[in-house]
Amino acid sequence: MKKHNVIMASLFFGFLGVMAIGYFFSRDTFSRMEKRYLAEAPKLSWSRFLDGSWGKQTDTYLIDHVPGRNLYVGVNAYCEMLLGRQKTKSIWVLDGKLVRSPVSPQPEFEERNVAAVNRFAQELEIPVSMALVPSCGFALEAPEYDDDALIESVYDKTALETVDLRNIYRNKPELYYSTDHHWTSAGAFECYKALMYAWGKTPEETYTVEGFDHFRGANYAASGLWLTPEETLELWTGPATITVQNNELTHEGVFYRERLEDYDPYMVFLDGNQPFVQLHNPNGTGSLLVIRDSYASSLAGFLAQSYENVILVDLRYYRQPVSQLAASCDRVLILYSLENFLTDTNIVLLK
Amino acid sequence: MKKLICVLITVCLVLSLSACGKKEETASLDIDVLYESFQQYLPDMFFPDEATLMNFLGISVDDCVRYKVAICAEGLRADEVWLIEAKDDTALKKLEELAQVRIQSKLDETETYAPDQYLIVQKAEVLTNGRYLAFFISPDVESMKAGFEAAFQ
């Protein structure tokens, strides 16, 4: 009996010792699997100790740096899935795809954002089009995704010319990534064609396609379902020579290939989210201003096949008057995913 | 021994009663001067007008005696500062709630796309002193917090 107790105590303290050593040697500040920074060790002060914030931060630090964290996160995610609790999470598994849970529309956001784009369009003398991209859940025809009615509601309220993309993506989940919330390059190409036809232009249809086979996107990182296989991210190169002005730096071509090795390979398109990007194609015609979210990052390369200048503005980061940019353009496109249009608080800054 | 206990109880009673007295008035704060002192920590900032404050952040200027609200105008940074003297306690509570909503909104915005900024937003501070509210999102949040607290000493 005594021997048994000694063995149990040794195992227990051995486990504690290994964990303590693991914490001591934990040097990671960023989790590539979860695509996020891990909590920093909290600084102790009397005020922080007394108001409880030090305790909370210590909890977070210990959780983030527990040895074998990825294993625990993964086991937990698969257990939740097996217990049928997947739909309480932000990422759902539908037909083998990791998709974001349906958007919870807030009517006041919708009203404010529609009013902002209407107001903006009224003050311009050039055509302003709006295109909302439905979700992957909609493409999978999952009943919880009411994109049909939500897009209809926005389009009914706006005075802008609308380009309806719903029938392009309905029942076409292959136009979305399986591990990311964005559309694939093929999905972006379908949108490009729809826009060109709507505006009476002929789309460029000749491309060479390269594949990057190790893509796992943002939904993978948020899901914890680590056994989900990698997928292919395609780079479609058209015939035009495109120069990108990004953050005051000039770049040849729309693909930032070094980003393929980064934590989020989707940043290969235009170097990720940027406040202001300008694409120039000397053989294109006309200038297009795109007020956009990240979906337009992979669309812009296609648009630049047809336009001489494509200017992209992301209202999450761009605070200057957008109407000044519109003055040099022939057309404005407001392109958002449905989810972002219904939830983004920055659209009201559009001026 | 009994006398000693009586004295101690009396002292405790007097001290606790004194805490029920009128609150000491909070020192007056020059919001503009305080903001000036924070500029060393901030990038180029943009100052929303009244309509934008309402539409973008939900802040009604009717709830404010004085205010300075600044949002990063530069690139992908999440920096933001609110320094507000609220009209009354109800307005202060409302402003505190708006600041929490704003933090959540910034967390949602940065979580997927800007993990470095997400880390900064996670450390955002909402502080109050009297009817003054300070809200900071900044890599230098600790310095700004210390500056706000020092302004009342």
Same domain flag for A58 and A171: no
Whole-model pTM over 0.90: no
Rounded to 5 degrees, what are φ and ψ at A171? Answer: 60, 25
**A37 in reach of chain B (CB within 8 A):** yes
Same domain flag for A227 and A345: yes
Shortest alpha-carbon distance between residue A320 and chain B (Å) = 8
Same domain flag for A139 and A223: yes
Query: Best residue in B112, B116, B120 to probe A by mutation, most A CBs within 10 Å?
Result: B112
Q: What is the mean pLDDT of residues A219-223?
A: 95
Q: What is the mean pLDDT of residues A63-89?
A: 90
Give chain B positions within 8 Å (CB) of A30.
115
Number of structural domains (chain A) is 2
Same domain flag for A292 and A340: yes
Which residue range is the domain that position A281 belongs to?
Answer: 99-349
Q: Which of A294, A317, A320 sits opposite B76 (nearest CB)?
A: A317
Does residue A35 belong to any structural domain of this protein?
yes
Does residue A193 belong to any structural domain of this protein?
yes
Same domain flag for A166 and A267: yes
Give chain B positions within 8 Å (CB) of A113.
none
The answer to whether residue A133 scores a pLDDT higher than 70 is yes
At B36-63, the pLDDT tens digits run: 999 999 999 999 999 889 988 999 999 9
Same domain flag for A34 and A138: no
The whole-number pLDDT of residue B112 equals 78
**A316 in reach of chain B (CB within 8 A):** yes
At B108-152, the pLDDT tens digits run: 888 877 888 998 999 999 999 999 999 999 999 999 999 999 998
Same domain flag for A329 and A267: yes
Listed by start position, the domains of chain B span 26-150
Instruction: Provide the residue type at A193 as one letter.
Output: K
At A151-173, the pLDDT tens digits run: 999 999 999 999 999 999 999 99
Q: Which residues lie below 8 Å from residue A330, measured CB to CB, with a gap of 6+?
A: A126, A286, A287, A288
Rounded to 5 degrees, what are φ and ψ at A226? Answer: -70, -15
HEC sequence for A30-60: EECCCCEECCCCCCCCHHHHHCCHHHHHHHH
The whole-number pLDDT of residue B21 equals 42
Same domain flag for A190 and A111: yes
A266 DSSP assignment: G
Does residue A86 belong to any structural domain of this protein?
no
The whole-number pLDDT of residue B5 equals 63
- The chain-wide mean pLDDT, for chain A, equals 93
Q: Which of B105, B108, B119 sits opposite A37 (nearest CB)?
A: B119
The answer to whether residue B67 scores a pLDDT higher than 90 is yes
At B68-99, the pLDDT tens digits run: 999 998 768 999 999 999 999 999 999 999 99
- The answer to whether the Cα torsion of B145, B147, B151, B153 is positive or negative is positive
Shortest alpha-carbon distance between residue A314 and chain B (Å) = 10
Final residue before a domain boundary, out of A25, A46, A67: A67
Same domain flag for A56 and A115: no
Final residue before a domain boundary, out of A15, A44, A67: A67
Same domain flag for A166 and A271: yes
Does residue A72 belong to any structural domain of this protein?
no
Higher pLDDT: B153 or B86? It is: B86
The answer to whether residue A200 scores a pLDDT higher than 90 is yes
Final residue before a domain boundary, out of A43, A67, A91: A67
Same domain flag for A43 and A120: no
Same domain flag for A35 and A104: no
The whole-number pLDDT of residue B19 equals 46
Does residue A28 belong to any structural domain of this protein?
yes
